[in-house]
């Protein structure tokens, strides 16, 4: 018991015990053992976080700070994080099972964690208003950009630091203050980040973290009367519930939700490239990525060869403990999710889909391990093709022509991402135009960058993260009318 680390929550640059004294356990998914206790924040704690954020926005230095000065603070934060990235990565691995190499600076999420601060540091003073040539005599009309105020940010458990950074830096760059709620399954790296940020001299109250569950922490946070907008990353069901709460006070909310992203392999594809790219677009994070391209649509003329080659590539993957440097795929990030993925595999098996590779052979007595799993002959109306598994599970369906491929790809409630594999780039670009998804990859998959906006079509969400659009979502415009020659005749005379 003594080895179990107890966290506090973070408000006004100070650590606090939860007001009602409740904590919940956090497991290490590598062995299923409890390693930390996390505050179960309720209304009083949410109130404290929001009060700190509101004071920082209305009365603290943050609200009055010039954008260029805010940029200098953000740059400092990026520098501090790059110094402590290894420490943050170690907590992420312990709490979430993510391989340490995925959060190493210079690689993907580790790099985003630093780049995002530096990118938005430079953007703080680039949002210029404009003078509008309004059809109104003797008036000077101008538009300016303003922050919303206190913003609630709700995070999922996959890639806690990776998803956090896409919304945090642009939101602060825009001049808002933030109360963040990480997932109940992976709160610890977000709390550790706050400890790191204390070194960056962020003014008190600008960033606060309350931990807990969706209904008892997330809902009161979004619903708080002093929260002006929210940004939610998570599943579509959770997103619907959060949007319903936001709608009570007509609050804007950004939605970054789930997906069931298709990857289309055309008959002229370079099959080696496609097989490797498809495998890389699903399995390394154990399928626990929102854009996981796990719905494979393969032209009938190459589906046999493609399927065999895909199995040959992914069956070599080493599934194991995240801290073992030879591991290529770590565990599922938490117990409930692990059991859910196993249930979905069993259901797909029971439904009679052809099981080409069974990842259940990787299961162990301790820890939440599942290996790559591939089903073939999965019609697009099957549960496996329609509903997100969020695990290392791919389905394959054959198609006969491009029009059918596009129709099947779009036959989904989701529209987060899609992949197209073809040597005919012109035709692939035409196909990309017809796919209903926020991101389309041609002859690659899984790329993302701080500079490039991401987000969903359809029930994968609305609003964008990263790039100029990522900051714009956290700002609103104000139109100001100044009378240059004030005169107002008596309206009733």
Residues near ligand NAD (CB under 6 A) are 154-158, 163, 181, 183-184, 213-215, 218-219, 222, 233-235, 238, 241-242, 245, 256-259, 290, 388, 390, 416, 456, 461
Distance of CA 166 to the CA centre of its chain: 7
Comparison of 222 and 319: residue with beta carbon closer to ligand NAD: 222
- For residue 207, the cross-strand partners are 178
Annotated catalytic residue 290:
yes
Comparison of 175 and 391: residue with beta carbon closer to ligand NAD: 391
Distance of CA 48 to the CA centre of its chain: 26
Task: For the CB of residue 259, give the shortest distance to ligand NAD in the complex, in Å.
Answer: 6
- DSSP letter, residue 466: S
Distance (Å, rounded) from C-alpha 105 to C-alpha 78?
11
Contact 74, 198 (CB under 8 A): no
3-class DSSP state for residue 29? coil
Annotated catalytic residue 305:
no
Task: For the CB of residue 455, give the shortest distance to ligand NAD in the complex, in Å.
Answer: 7
Question: What angle is formed at CA 143 by the lines to CA 140 and CA 149, rounded to 5 degrees?
Answer: 135
Contact 408, 264 (CB under 8 A): no
Task: For the CB of residue 13, give the shortest distance to ligand NAD in the complex, in Å.
Answer: 23
First to last CA, the chain: 82
Q: From 382, 359, 388, select the one nearest 293 (Cα to Cα).
A: 388
Task: For the CB of residue 222, give the shortest distance to ligand NAD in the complex, in Å.
Answer: 6
Query: Cβ atoms within 10 A of the Cβ of 371, count?
Result: 21
Q: Which of 27, 109, 184, 256 is catalytic?
A: 256
Task: For the CB of residue 253, give the shortest distance to ligand NAD in the complex, in Å.
Answer: 10
Query: Cβ atoms within 10 A of the Cβ of 400, count?
Result: 10
Comparison of 38 and 475: residue with beta carbon closer to ligand NAD: 38
Task: For the CB of residue 90, give the shortest distance to ligand NAD in the complex, in Å.
Answer: 22
Comparison of 242 and 275: residue with beta carbon closer to ligand NAD: 242
Query: Cβ atoms within 10 A of the Cβ of 488, count?
Result: 6
Contact 207, 178 (CB under 8 A): yes
Comparison of 206 and 341: residue with beta carbon closer to ligand NAD: 341
Between strands 262-265 and 417-421, the pairing is parallel
Comparison of 119 and 399: residue with beta carbon closer to ligand NAD: 119
> Which residues form the catalytic set?
256, 290
């Amino acid at each position: 018991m003594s080895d179990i680390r107890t966290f506090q929550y973070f408000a006004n640059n100070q650590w606090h015990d939860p007001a009602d004294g409740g904590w919940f356990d956090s497991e290490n998914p590598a062995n299923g053992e409890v390693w930390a206790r996390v505050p179960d924040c309720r209304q009083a704690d949410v109130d404290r976080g929001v009060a700190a954020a509101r004071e920082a926005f209305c009365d603290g230095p943050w609200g009055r700070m010039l954008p260029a000065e805010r940029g200098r603070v953000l740059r400092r934060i990026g520098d501090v994080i790059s110094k402590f990235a290894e420490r943050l990565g170690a907590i992420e691995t312990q709490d979430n099972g993510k391989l340490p190499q995925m959060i190493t600076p210079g690689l993907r999420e580790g790099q985003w964690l630093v780049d995002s601060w530096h990118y938005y540091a430079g953007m703080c003073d680039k949002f210029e208003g404009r003078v509008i040539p309004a059809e109104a005599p003797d008036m000077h009309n101008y538009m300016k950009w303003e922050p919303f105020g206190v913003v609630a940010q709700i995070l999922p458990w996959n890639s806690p630091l990776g998803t956090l950074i896409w919304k945090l830096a642009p939101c602060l760059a825009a001049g808002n203050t933030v109360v963040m709620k990480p997932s109940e399954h992976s709160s610890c790296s977000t709390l550790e980040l706050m400890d790191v940020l204390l070194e960056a001299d962020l003014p008190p109250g600008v960033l606060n973290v309350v931990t807990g569950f969706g209904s008892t922490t997330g809902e009161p946070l979004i619903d708080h009367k002093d929260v002006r907008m929210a940004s939610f990353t998570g599943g579509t069901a959770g997103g619907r519930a959060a949007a319903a709460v936001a709608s009570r006070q007509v609050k804007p909310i950004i939605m970054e939700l789930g997906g069931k992203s298709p990857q289309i392999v055309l008959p002229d594809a370079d099959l080696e490239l496609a097989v490797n790219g498809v495998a890389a677009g699903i399995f390394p994070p154990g399928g626990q990525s929102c854009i996981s391209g796990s719905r494979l649509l393969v032209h009938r003329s190459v589906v046999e060869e493609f399927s065999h080659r895909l199995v040959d590539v992914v069956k070599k993957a080493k599934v194991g403990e995240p801290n073992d440097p030879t591991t290529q795929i770590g565990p599922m990030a938490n117990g409930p999710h692990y059991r859910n993925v196993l249930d979905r595999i069993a259901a797909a098996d029971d439904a009679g889909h052809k099981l080409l590779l069974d990842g259940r052979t990787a299961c162990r007595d301790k820890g939440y391990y599942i290996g790559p799993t591939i089903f073939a002959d999965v019609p697009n109306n099957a549960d496996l093709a329609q509903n997100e598994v969020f695990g290392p599970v791919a389905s394959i369906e054959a198609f006969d022509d491009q029009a059918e491929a596009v129709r099947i790809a779009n036959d989904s409630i989701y529209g987060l991402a899609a992949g197209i594999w073809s040597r005919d780039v012109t035709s692939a670009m035409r196909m990309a135009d017809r796919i209903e998804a926020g991101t389309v990859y041609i002859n690659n998959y899984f790329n993302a960058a701080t500079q490039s906006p991401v987000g969903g079509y359809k029930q994968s969400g609305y609003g964008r993260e990263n790039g100029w659009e990522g900051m714009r979502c956290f700002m609103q415009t104000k139109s100001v009318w100044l009378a240059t020659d004030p005169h107002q005749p008596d309206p009733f005379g």
